[in-house]
Structure 1
Amino acid sequence: MSTSEIGTGAVPPAGTTTPEAPAPTAPAGKAPAPATPAGKAPARKPRRELLAASVGSVVEAYDWTIYGVLAPYFAEQLFPGSSPTARLIAAYLGFALGFLVRPLGSVVIGRLTDTRGRRFGLTLTVGLIAAGSLLLAIVPGHASIGLAAPLLVVAARLVQGLSVGAENPTAAAYVTETAPGRHRYFYSAVSYGGVVLGSALSFIVLSVLLGVFGETGVEDGAWRLAFVFGALLGLTALWIRRGAAESEVFAEDARTRKRTRGGASPWPVLRAHLGPLSVVFAITSGATTVFYFLTVDFPSYAAAAGAATKEEASGALLLGMVALLAGMLAAGKAADRFGALPVLRTGFAGLALGSVPLLAGMVAGRVPVPVVTVVLLFLLALPLAVSNVFAGQLFPPAVRAVAVGLPAALAISLFGGTFPALAEWLRSAGHGGWVPWWPAITCAAALLASWGVREHPLPDTPVSE
């Protein structure tokens, strides 16, 4: 594929109004641009647009995580089973089903985002997430409505899975097109940092509920308050997003497609970008495998290796989360100055080469557990901070949400959703020492794949090799 093929599709040609300009105005003698396909939008305010993108990430991560965190507390009320373990397994199967529909959501809602507008996609995803949380908050128990209870829970999770599959790529497309050019990767870091904050918020809410109601009280129904909070959080995000301006890049591209009757199907364009699609898949696979290893499996890994108790490892992860957030902000600043690829490659190289030795040192007692979590999560911050917007710029606006979302959703489903089960299987087979090799291998693959694209001298215009 030629270099110009992606470069011209991803970046508006010279002379058009782009979101890089601090204060876009209509050309002299011309009226302002007409209302976008998503409806009349307010004047552009980059910080409000950043807030609109970020708040959805918080809601997405909170609602996705809180289900798994609360499953041991609501499984008894909502799921049938011959034993508490059987009911808990059924609840976790509901969690897994959400992963299966994420690729579908990235295509269906992503296509709507690419045709109806970024604001339309942003409001739709967060609205669906809020609706799913509200349904989980009010669904009657299994004792009251029988099998309808678990079916409603699964329905809520499927709706949320569809939405989550499109939320991140929709926000990525929006930030790609609205962030000031000099701060694009910093905006990327801030918007994706909402995922970390949302995940942390779910554990904070559980701690508050346990502190106020106790374990028995949470099991008796106080768990519903966490989903009520998620629904309210989603409605707040919906209000913020409705007040955000439409992407001018999308609006101009939509007008061009309307004049030329283009954009009937995204598949020819996607087939022309198979190389960048593969790169996005590989990059997401590496990052998501490390993320799930550290945030989900690490306490079990450390405990099984005799390096720390689960409680000690979980405490060390809190320090790692601080390093993750700080690292993402620093990585965004660095990418705006030096380009995204050097930052992304530094993170993946460190994870590919350093994960196994660092974890081996921890198991041997030579490296403290908090040092391991801080170093690995800081390295993970580098690709996480820049990959969303970097990936968005690899594709033209007409397919940007679908093109970012589909390979990412597939990677998360195949590598992220399966990693905890894979790690547990390796430990049960007596091969717990092999667990760190899988994240290291996927990061090595992501590092190699990053050479499938190269970066334009300007850090916001990556193009294909």
Structure 2
Amino acid sequence: MTALEKTPASAGTAAPPQSAPVSAPTRRPRRELAAASVGSVVEAYDWTIYGVLAPYFAEQLFPGSSPTARLIAAYLGFALGFLVRPLGSVLIGRLTDTRGRRYGLSLTVGLIAAGSLLLAVVPGHAAIGVAAPLLVVAARLVQGLSVGAENPSAAAYVTETAPGRSRYFYSAVSYGGVVLGSALSFVVLSVLLAVFGESGVEDGAWRLAFVFGALLGLTALWIRRGAAESEEFAASARQSAGTRPWPVLRSHLGRLAVVFAITSGATTVFYFLTVDFPAYAEDAGAASKEEASGALLLGMVALLTGMLAAGRAADRFGALPVLRAGFAGLALGSVPLLTAMAAGRVPVQLVTVVLLFLLGLPLAVSNVFAGQLFPPAVRAVAVGLPAALAISLFGGTFPALAELLRSAGHGGWVPWWPAITCAGALLASWGVREHPVPVTPHP
């Protein structure tokens, strides 16, 4: 694979443009950071709250001969959202690369909010029959398309607008919105249960969580509409209007593979620790599901701490050393640490703190690092497509794979898959080199 500095940022662009994008408001780096970060919060909240609330709304919205059948149908709606994420990364990502970062960011968060609003008001199955689950699936497909493009669009925006001396710290803050949004979904559920009780949530109070998601999305849309367009995008657009993206992407196949590998490692660990870990800990006899879930709260604090520290370190020492340190720790340390936990030699709280802190290192820098691998004309698509494919293949399937292994009596094999994917990400990181200078020379 070629070194990053050997391909200039304008590589692969073609003919002169016919027009330039309309200029946006005056640049304010902190507002631009807020615009990128708030969408990550909305994305993660709306994506997670569906899965969190599925046991409460499944009986109202889905047909079935039993509560279990209805819940399975609701979770199938969750899975369908994963399937369309790669499509969203291409369709909306292409709009982000041609019509502007601000346009793409506004579109993604607007679609996410619209999906939440539809979920909040859709009538029950008893009222409109099969139309109810069809509308739910439609809302999730819209959100899946949107989520597939949200993160790469934000990554392109932060890559191009963050001050050079704080580029990776801005990356860490913007991606930290994913962690905050996921945590917010559990906070909202806890509030609903405290106010309405379990029966009240099942009777319809669950809709309030989706109303909140829609309002959160509209707030994010307002913030993003007031943010400035990326100056680097505007300059690139004047030189590359009419560029066909696929020849440019084909010339960067090696880098696309690197993004796929890095995302595969990070997303497998993320879904293992945030979704499957309570079941794994209980199966291993290390802790109950409730104890493991409680330990994850400490782990989330460690994750955010690791991300912010990694962002600062990457701005000083470079992204690759930080990225490799995280993946090396996860590849070499996760299986021994989890084995020791299962044997009762290491407490579950320490395991979650260490592993999520290590995960914070690559998560903090990978978005902007990946953005710098590609020219602006294809940046959102080039970051989004391999990332969405990796998340669909490795993230969306991991809980099912883990449950399959446990049901076959091989629960001890579960940690090996995250370790192997992290080893692959570590090896892939040697396919590129650190960019010698910031792409955009902000002070």
Letter of the aligned partner of 1:245 in structure 2? A
Q: Which residue identity does 1:383 align to in structure 2?
A: P
**Residue of structure 1 aligned with 2:291, choices 312, 316, 319:** 312
Q: Secondary structure at the match of 2:433?
A: strand
Give the structure 2 partner of residue 277 of structure 1.
Answer: 256
Choose which of 208, 216, 224 in structure 1 pairs with 2:199. 216
Q: Is the 8 A contact 1:36 1:246 kept in 2?
A: no
> For residues 419 and 107 of structure 1, what CA distance do their matches in structure 2 show?
24
Q: Distance in 2 between matches of 1:367 and 1:279?
A: 34
Cα distance change on mapping 1:41 and 1:460 into 2, 3 Å: closer
**d(CA) in 1 for partners of 2:434 and 2:32?**
26
Q: Which amino acid aligns with 1:370?
A: Q
Partner of 1:444: 423
Please give the TM-score of this superposition, normalised by the length of structure 2.
0.96
- Number of aligned residues: 433
What are the ranges of 5 or more consecutive residues in structure 2 without an aligned counterpart?
A: 12-18
**Hey, what's the Cα distance between the residues in 1 that align with 2:365 and 2:205?**
38
Out of 189, 201, 218, the residue aligned to residue 235 of structure 1 is: 218
Matches within 5 A, 1:115-130: 115-130=98-113
Letter in 2 for 1:191: S
Q: How far apart are residue 171 of structure 1 and its match?
A: 0.1
Counterpart Cα distance in 1 of 2:4 and 2:215: 45
Task: State the distance in 2 between where 1:133 and 1:433 align.
Answer: 38
Q: Equivalences for 1:80-159 in 2 at 5 Å?
A: 80-159=63-142
Structure 1 Cα separation of the partners of residues 217 and 325 of structure 2: 35
Post-superposition shift, 1:458? 3.3
Q: Distance in 1 between matches of 2:10 and 2:327?
A: 25
Whether the 8 Å CA contact 2:160–2:439 is kept in 1: the answer is no
Measured in 2, the distance between the counterparts of 1:6 and 1:129 equals 38
Q: Distance in 2 between matches of 1:145 and 1:456?
A: 56
1:294 aligns with 2:273: yes
Please point out which of 371, 381, 390 is paired with 1:411.
390
Q: Does the CA contact (< 8 Å) of 1:140 and 1:149 recur in 2? A: yes
| Aligned-partner residue type, residue 156 of structure 2 | A
Q: Distance in 1 between matches of 2:223 and 2:400?
A: 38
User: What SS class does the counterpart of residue 229 from structure 2 fall into?
Assistant: coil
- C-alpha deviation, 1:257, in angstroms: 2.0
**Alignment-derived partner of residue 321 in structure 1:** 300
2:416 maps to 1:454: no
Distance 1:359 1:257 in 2: 50
1:8 aligns with 2:8: yes
Distance 1:100 1:164, change over 3 A: same
**SS state of the match for residue 26, structure 2?**
coil
Shift, 1:455, TM fit: 1.0
Q: Secondary structure at the match of 2:8?
A: helix
8 Å contact from structure 1 (residues 184, 460) kept in 2: no
Cα distance in 2, alignment partners of residues 203 and 427 from structure 1: 26
CA distance in 1, matches of 2:421, 2:410: 18
Q: Which amino acid aligns with 1:425?
A: L
Q: Structure 1: how far apart are the matches of 2:369 and 2:23?
A: 29
Match status 1:68 vs 2:51: yes
1:352: which partner in 2? 331
Q: Tell me the secondary structure at the aligned position of residue 456 of structure 1.
A: coil
CA distance in 1, matches of 2:348, 2:5: 47
The answer to whether structure 1 residue 429 and structure 2 residue 408 are counterparts is yes
Conserved in 2, the CA contact under 8 Å of 1:340 and 1:459? no
1:45 aligns with 2:28: yes
The answer to whether the Cα contact below 8 Å between 2:262 and 2:428 also exists between their aligned partners in 1 is: yes
Shift of 1:456: 3.2
User: What pairs with 1:323-342 in structure 2 (closer than 5 Å)?
Assistant: 323-342=302-321
In the alignment, what sits opposite 1:20? none
Alignment check: 8 A CA contact 2:4 2:435 kept: no
- Share of identical aligned residues, percent? 87
| Contact 1:336-1:459 within 8 A present in 2 as well | no
Q: Secondary structure at the match of 1:455?
A: coil
Distance (Å, rounded) in 1 between the aligned partners of 2:363 and 2:293: 21
Inter-partner Cα distance in structure 1 for 2:117 and 2:265 = 33
User: Quick one: structure 1 residues 4 and 212, their matched pair in 2 at CA, closer, same or farther if it must change by over 3 Å?
Assistant: closer
Q: Which residue of 2 aligns with 1:14?
A: none
C-alpha RMSD of the superposition: 1.3
Contact 1:339 1:458 in 2 (8 A): no
Query: What residue identity is the alignment partner of 2:49?
Result: I
Cα shift at 1:51: 0.2
Aligned to 2:16: none
How many Å apart are 1:347 and its aligned residue? 0.1
Distance 1:54 1:457 in 2: 26
Structure 2 CA distance for aligned equivalents of residues 364 and 309 of structure 1: 15
- 3-state SS, counterpart of residue 436 of structure 2: coil
In structure 1, distance between residues paired with 2:343 and 2:10: 49
Match in the other structure for 2:60: 77
**Could you tell me which amino acid in structure 1 is paired with residue 8 of structure 2?**
T
Shift of 1:234: 0.1
2: distance between equivalents of 1:160 and 1:236? 17
Cα drift, residue 50 of structure 1: 0.2
Deviation at 1:412, TM superposition (A): 0.1
| CA displacement, residues 441-460 of structure 1 (integer Å, 9 cap, x when unaligned) | 00000000000001133366
1:401 Cα offset (Å)? 0.1
Question: 2:94, 2:381 within 8 Å by CA — same for their partners in 1?
Answer: yes
Letter in 1 for 2:37: S
Match of 1:165 in 2: 148
Aligned counterparts of 2:114 and 2:131: Cα–Cα separation in 1: 18
**Residues 285-336 of structure 1: per-residue CA shift (max 9 Å, x gap):** 0000000000000000000111000000000000000000011000000000
- Contact kept, 8 Å, 2:43 with 2:147, in 1: the verdict is yes
Q: CA deviation at 1:273?
A: 0.1
Q: Using the alignment, how far apart are the partners of 2:239 and 2:296 within structure 1?
A: 49
Quickly say closer, same or farther: Cα 1:216–1:132, change in 2 above 3 A. Answer: same
